[in-house]
Amino acid sequence: MADLTLATLAAQVFTGLVLGMILVLLAIGLSLIFGLMTVVNFAHGSLYMLGAYFGFFLIAYTKSFWLALVVAPMLVGVFGLLMERFLVRPLYGRSIDDPLLLTFGLSLVLVEAVRLVWGKIGLTLDPPPALAGAVNLGFTYFPLYRLFVIGVTVVVLVALLLFLEKTNVGLIIRAGSRDPVMVRALGFDLGRVWLLVFGIGTALAGLAGILAGPMRGVYAEMGVTIVIESFVVVVVGGMGSLPGAIVAGLVIGQVVSLTTLFAPKFAEIMVFIVMALVLLVRPSGLFGEAGLME
């Protein structure tokens, strides 16, 4: 019985790690966009949903999960570029509430558009045969696809951090988030930087969507709950902080998973309890900077 309990607990911890990785991808995108442009993108959950639907469409027509895994986030990223250029950009310099309301309304439009195109009934997104089955970890069996999700997320995060730390474009992005006036004074076009960052952030949401599809199903409302959890991650980690988004995403993933195991009725509210406790101790979040919202 003790071995069974240990195996169950270990499986639940790994499940929380997988959920945490999905939340990290979403929260990183939100933090990138907010940290540079101070835009609260409420459409992020709908972009996550689009990634899953684009993945379903591409797999149906190309019969290749691997191609869909690459192309679906790119399509969502392109949609993000158009969204920033024609909808969000005219609102720069105005109240932070204006882009928030715009993206909230856009999220509702996207949900209804998906219902019109693909219907109201949820769809099934199957993982590739190569990732079927489970792996013996020694203390429990765990689905191979979920381990793949962890691996892909780690690779993407490492690549993103190297891009931000080691490239000239990454340097400009980081400088723009600190002092956009000085970056403009040096002759750099911040409009292009904002466009790039918005595209990267939305592409990460699309990647999270196609990765989550085989585990959680594909349906029009799939982004509603997870975007709330993603905003909790961003707030707990600190608005605009990438390390904070990573740490908080892993923590919230474990909180949701373990609460689901021991007290399922409290799983939905536990993330908000954690957020409240963190904000009582550190109002700006674990890694956040005071005054960023001002």
Tens place of pLDDT per residue across the chain (294 aa): 444 577 788 888 899 999 999 999 999 999 988 877 888 899 999 999 999 999 999 999 999 999 999 999 999 999 999 999 999 999 887 888 899 999 999 999 999 999 999 998 999 898 898 998 888 877 778 899 999 999 999 999 999 999 988 888 888 887 776 677 777 777 777 788 889 999 999 999 999 999 999 999 999 999 988 999 999 999 999 887 889 999 999 999 999 999 988 888 888 899 999 999 999 999 888 887 655 554
Q: Is residue 292 part of a domain?
A: no
Q: Is residue 290 part of a domain?
A: no
The three-class DSSP label of residue 105 is helix
Q: Is residue 63 part of a domain?
A: yes
Q: Is residue 288 part of a domain?
A: no
Residue 246, pLDDT score: 94
Q: Is residue 114 part of a domain?
A: yes
* Domain containing residue 250: 2-281
What is the domain-level CATH number for residue 38?
Answer: 1.10.3470
State pTM to two decimals.
0.93
Q: Is residue 289 part of a domain?
A: no
Residue 4, pLDDT score: 52
Q: Is residue 291 part of a domain?
A: no
Domain tally, the chain: 1
Query: Using CB atoms within 10 A of its CB, is residue 46 exposed (0-12), middle (13-18) or buried (19+)?
Result: buried
- Cα distances from 190 to residues 21, 40, 292, in angstroms, run 30, 18, 19
Residue 281, pLDDT score: 92
CA–CA distance, 101 with 294 (Å, rounded to integer): 18
